[in-house]
A and B are shown apart, each in its own frame.
Chain A
Amino acid sequence: MKRVIPLWIAVIAGFGILFSSFIPVAERAGEMFADIFSVIAAIAFILGALSLAKQHLGKLSRREAGWGYSIITFGTFIAMLFIGMSKIGIHPNTQYPQAPYSGGNDTEGSAFMWMYEYVMTPLTSTMFALLAFFVASAAFRAFRAKNTEAVLLLITAFIILLGRTFAGVLLTGWLPDWASGLRLENLSVYVMQVFNTAGSRAIMIGIALGVAATGLRILFGLDRSWLGGGDA
């Protein structure tokens, strides 16, 4: 029963959404299923918050290594929750000026928005900036000329990198018109439009068919491993 009911929910919702994308009159059914999903996800968020609290409070009580970070994580979580729910610094919505808590959390001047803009965004940007260093280290490893394929990859990468920058124009801009196809900027476009597009399209077609086959496997109940596998 524990697996049959979720399976049937998935089948009904799956077919409902499938039909709603082809049948205009059934569009509302698709929207309804999407709304139900949002409600379930919102309820599950409470479970997530409880899991977070349990994890970090447990670390604190056991004085596990790195428990200081748990104080920061759990403390900021509680602080943001309090600021968001108490709507500190939020002006009433102009449509409902009598209701003091009618304004949204994302309005200018709210404490929640201030925390988001001046704490959350810089932290996120810092993490994202790390990506540049990881790209460099991964490129260094990927472009080592170990064999013929790696040499080809290296040459192609150079063509693309130079062709996409002003250096490409500087290096090969002198080539006459009849040999313009050999200019780095044109070679770069050729590689991207012919070889890259052919390869990526093949992958995309495979992905589309894979998604369709997986969807059908789930809708027909052939694949129940996402429910924990086995029989009902």
Chain B
Amino acid sequence: MRSTRVIPSRRFTIHSWMCVAFLFISIGFAKASQASSLTHMASLEAAAVLASDPPQAADAKAPEPENGWFNQGKTALFLWIIFVGLAVTVSVAMAKRGRPMKIRRIAALEAVDNAVGRATEMGRAILFVPGIQDMDNIQTVAGLTMLGRVAKTAAEYDATIEVPTSRSLVMEAARDVVRASYLSAGRPDGFSNDRINYITDEQFGYVAHVAGYMVREKPATCFYMGCFYAESLIFAETGNAIGAIQIAGTAESSQLPFFVAACDYTLIGEEFFAASAYLSGEPAQLGTLRGQDAGKLAVMVMVVLGAIVATIVARSPDSTGAAGVLDFLYKMVGG
């Protein structure tokens, strides 16, 4: 037990150094890009002067187009990453020092244990669908972190968990996650590779399998955690028809209404990404949520400020200063 407490703190030191190094490197690149852009502008001015006198320009060496050190069009995004990165780092450090982190209650996550317990009592399986995208999608990764928690509870309760996947890489990752969960629950014998299967990459082929499984086997609990498209409502409505308790989570805003309409609990957007931190209860992970909230506060301030400035601009269009501020805010928030 002692080693499990010591290792994360050591690792945090390494990662905090990595984080600081990343920020310094990023700032370094930003400065370099600024210098580079000035050089670039100077070279463009020189090119314009040379272009006004064609005979001389022909003799002079034409400025070569350069790629530059920094993509100026993404400055706002870069600054946001720096800001969120700093907020997360500071919050994690504060959490590590013992500062209490107050997290609001998320009903869908509170219901996970009850949902797994219900499946155990009914003697039926738990269905976990990790979306239809591959491991390069952050929603799939977030879904697998949830799978780890659900599988651990299922292992403790001795419930059966079925994970059909639509990508072979996700299948491999899911097997590792579930195996580790059974191991940490002290029930390695309860784990079976055969319950985590690859079905097909084809969207509706996968839907056909999962819906068919639901109708035949009637799982007591269904989790839909990941990236979903048109199949979301087919899953949720089939689950509803068989009387399963359903918990969904996705960041696909177009699919959220379907899950809200057909599922018992839905993790909406950011709640889905907060799930692993919320369930783990680790100070370092909870600190990242606080950093995320700092970013949200900054956006809220900018949106309110933007509304006020936009009103001023609408009332007095001649106000160039207000128009400049509005343009800056638009670039920062709207890209």
Contacts and interface: CB of A to CB of B under 8 A. Distances in A.
Interface stretch (B3-11, B43-51, B116-124, B311-319): B3-11
B168 A141 contact: no
Size category of the binding interface on chain B: 35 or more
Q: Chain A binding site: helix, strand, loop or mixed by DSSP?
A: helix
B269 A138 contact: no
A230 B180 contact: yes
A100 interface: no
A66 B173 CA distance: 28
A218 B208 CA distance: 33
Name which of B149, B194, B269 has the most chain A CB atoms within 10 A of its CB.
B269
Contact of B269 (A51, A203, A228): A203
B169 interface: yes
Contacts of A203: 253, 256, 268-269
A213 B288 contact: yes
Name which of B142, B173, B272 has the most chain A CB atoms within 10 A of its CB.
B142
A220 interface: yes
A229 B184 contact: yes
Contacts of A135: 233
Contacts of A209: 84, 270, 292, 295-296, 299
Given A37-B136, A222-B92, A124 B203 contact: yes
Contacts of A205: 296, 299
A127 B204 contact: yes
B145 A226 contact: yes
Contacts of B171: 44, 47-48, 51
Interface string B253-292: 1001010111000001110111011001010110011011
B204 A123 contact: yes
Interface stretch (B56-64, B66-74, B98-106, B153-161): B66-74
Given A24-B67, A47-B171, A127-B208, A212 B296 contact: no
Interface in A203-220: 203-207, 209-218, 220
Q: Chain B binding site: helix, strand, loop or mixed by DSSP?
A: helix
B288 to A, nearest CB: 5
Interface stretch (B15-23, B107-115, B218-226, B321-329): B15-23
A22 B70 contact: yes
B138 A214 contact: yes
B7 A138 contact: no
Interface of B: 3-4, 7-8, 11-12, 15-16, 18-19, 22, 29, 67-71, 74, 77-78, 80-81, 84-85, 88, 92, 134-136, 138, 141-142, 144-145, 148-149, 167-169, 171-173, 176-177, 179-181, 184, 194, 197-200, 202-205, 207-208, 212, 216, 230, 233-234, 236-237, 240, 251, 253, 256, 258, 260-262, 268-270, 272-274, 276-277, 280, 282, 284-285, 288-289, 291-292, 295-296, 299
Nearest first, the 5 closest Cβ-Cβ pairs linking A and B are: A228-B180, A48-B168, A210-B273, A48-B198, A206-B270
Given A206-B296, A213-B289, A231-B3, 12 more contacts: A22-B74, A44-B169, A48-B198, A203-B268, A209-B299, A211-B273, A213-B295, A214-B273, A216-B88, A217-B277, A222-B15, A228-B180
